[in-house]
Structure 1
């Protein structure tokens, strides 16, 4: 088995063509250089240097070996520099999964701050519903994920990142319904605009109605938070949406929030990583940024 240090000593000796100078450059003794070269030559079964009265000279076999050794150490140097860049967050990538709405309204401000500090980090985003994002995380396709809680999975380490307050909003056509608190039954009788089936948000609102003995069938099902707000503004009904996602429209009066006799509970958004997998330096840097208090939702 070859000793990498032998080749390092061979390289310095081949460049200096003098054992004493090579030893000084390597900060070792001249006998150590001589011994290492002897070990390498014996292992290869070839003579690499002609020993001269005032130094050494490469043999034909030594010259042939030198080209490969130079290339090998150049590759190792490049690898060390690359790893150092990864450690210093000058290079690398982070793979994050979340729903479109969480990417836009919660994750994007944090990514902007991270990208500003570490422009060399490549950010890969993939979108999907919480169940799909969770599967990708556990299969190693992404490093971390924003997920709707509650979630209890022994494979994941999940901490609360933000708290969202949901509401039903309407446009001008249904503003009269915003004048007084509504019962769940009165709300269920309105045309409802909900996210597509299977999403965590859709499951949450269906469970809220079910807990009050009501089954709802929405008039419009959409896959985008922005479209929910748009259809509500156009007067198609009441859209279920997180208040912080439409704060501008509520402030401008383009949407009105429906008051409920039985208020909706707040929901938590979690930041999830795998328990059994070491994060890359880039992903760890992003997690540290969130843990330092930057992972707060936009003010409502």
Structure 2
């Protein structure tokens, strides 16, 4: 189990948090987050995601990563060779791919869940600076 924490300890901590907040965060049966649990998760998700990169950051070597969304056709036909070459050159590079159409890719980008979106059509109003009327476009969050 990650972090060496046992399930009963986690359950106890969750129960204590629910008591402190005066809110139920989880439905026990069927298991899932309540509306309050979802709001809490949205607030803390970035914090816990950043913990993965903390050791490298403290050593002064931030982890190289890219979260990319694109339609399956682009992921399948255009990216494999390029990504394999890049992975050989930068072995510590972490790549996360999302199969996503334009609407989903733009939403992931808007939420900060991806760094780069390759779409077949772009939303010119949502992402100013779009570089033209190409069949394929690239939009990055930073």
When normalised by structure 1's length, the TM-score is 0.26
Summarize deviations over 1:29-64 as a string: whole Å, max 9, x none.
xxxxxxxxxxxxxxxxxxxxxxxxxxxxxxxxxxxx
**Within-5 A mapping of 1:49-64:** none
Match for 1:137 among 91, 98, 109? Answer: 109
Q: Specify which structure has the bigger relative contact order, considering alpha-carbon pairs within 8 angstroms and separated by 6 or more residues.
A: 1
- Say how many residue pairs are matched: 89
Unaligned runs of 5+ in 1: 1-76, 161-265, 279-300
Corresponding position of 2:88? 116
**Within-5 A mapping of 1:129-168:** 129-155=101-127, 157-159=129-131
Residue 122 and residue 105 in structure 1: after superposition, are their counterparts in 2 closer, same or farther (change >3 A)?
A: same
Q: Output the CA distance in 2 between the equivalents of 1:150 and 1:78.
A: 35
Q: Output the CA distance in 2 between the equivalents of 1:154 and 1:128.
A: 17
Match for 2:135 among 258, 264, 268? Answer: 268
Residue 122 and residue 149 in structure 1: after superposition, are their counterparts in 2 closer, same or farther (change >3 A)?
A: same
Q: Output the CA distance in 2 between the equivalents of 1:148 and 1:136.
A: 15
The answer as to whether partners of 1:96 and 1:124 remain within 8 angstroms in 2 is: yes
Pair 1:92-2:64 in alignment: yes
Q: CA deviation at 1:129?
A: 1.1
Match for 2:97 among 125, 130, 142? Answer: 125
**RMSD value over aligned CA atoms?**
2.8
Q: CA deviation at 1:157?
A: 4.8
Residue 121 and residue 159 in structure 1: after superposition, are their counterparts in 2 closer, same or farther (change >3 A)?
A: farther
Summarize deviations over 1:226-264 as a string: whole Å, max 9, x none.
xxxxxxxxxxxxxxxxxxxxxxxxxxxxxxxxxxxxxxx
Q: Output the CA distance in 1 between the equivalents of 2:126 and 2:106.
A: 12
Q: CA deviation at 1:108?
A: 2.2
Unaligned runs of 5+ in 2: 1-54
Q: CA deviation at 1:115?
A: 1.1
